[in-house]
Structure 1
């Protein structure tokens, strides 16, 4: 994923699935300068900063 798409997902009114290392995450913030995102694991609630390139979009969640 690129920073532009991560930001679009963050601002989208729709819920769009995103995975980091095969676990679903919620994008909290995007740092385009560092090409990182602050994400929260949906199941565990842990937060971390990750490289945006490692995020995988899975599509709309219905």
Structure 2
């Protein structure tokens, strides 16, 4: 049976560091993606959060 987490579009929010670990890159690369508009982000307090599903989408090559 498939996991409902994988089949739903519920955002899974993570930090820049978590996104970088998932993408196997540096947090600075995540910053560049955010600044370029490739990766949407939200600032919660002093912490920048990204939707980890968006990171997966970028890694699959569906950045549009």
Greater helix share, 1 or 2?
A: 2
- Using CA pairs below 8 Å that are at least 6 residues apart, which structure has the higher relative contact order? 1
**Fold similarity call, TM over 0.5:** no
Tell me which structure has the larger Cα radius of gyration: 2
- TM-score using structure 2 length: 0.27
Greater strand share, 1 or 2?
A: 1
